[in-house]
Structure 1
Amino acid sequence: MVVNLRAKKRLVSRVTGVGIHRVWFDVEHVDDITDAITRENIRSLITANTIKIKPFRGTSRGRAKLKRIQKRKRGTTAGSKKGAKGARVGKKRVYV
C-alpha cells in the first residue's frame, strides 16, 4: 500500500532545518511515520534512525578548477588586458 508522506517530509524538514530532499524515511517503518503527528514524535523517530537526514551535497568545483588551470597558460597580450594602463600598474610604481 502506497502512503503519501509529503506532509510528514515537510514537517521533518521544518523540525530539522534542512530541505525536503534531504529527508529519508525507512520504508519498513512507514506505519510509525504515519502515526507521528507531533514535532516530538518526529524527533523521537529521528533518534531511533527511522527518519534520517542525508548529508549535504554541494556543487563540485572540479570542472571550474580545471578551467582555471588551463586559463593560467594563456598569455597577457593587449587583447587580454582589461582596464586602463594606470589601473593595472599604478603611476607611482611605474616611476619607481
Structure 2
Amino acid sequence: MTPDRSFKVECGYRYRFTTRGSVDSIVDFYARQARENRLVLAKDTRDQFPYTRMLGFDEKGGVRLLFVQIERKVGVNTATVTFRTRKAAASCN
C-alpha cells in the first residue's frame, strides 16, 4: 500500500476548561458539534472508568479527529479537547 502523500502537514490544537456543568451537557455539546461537522462517534467509554469519560470522533479517511476527555470531580468537571486535521498545505496557517 502506498502512503497518501497529498497531505503535507498535521495541524491541531488542544484546550482545557473547568465547568460546573454536567458531564452529560459537555458530551451533548461536543456530540452535536461533531455531527454538524460530519464527524462520527468512534469511541465512548461511558461509565467504563469511574472518574473519566472519553469520546473520540473521526471523519472517514482520518483527515479530522476530535477527542474529548472529561475528568469528573465533586462539583466540577474538567474537559480536555483535542482536534487534529491533516492539510495539503505546507503549514497550519
Place the TM-score, normalised by the shorter chain, in its bin: under 0.3
Q: TM-score, normalised by structure 1?
A: 0.24
Q: Which has the higher strand share?
A: 2
With the length of structure 2 as denominator, give the TM-score of the two structures.
0.25
Query: Higher Cα Rg: structure 1 or 2?
Result: 1
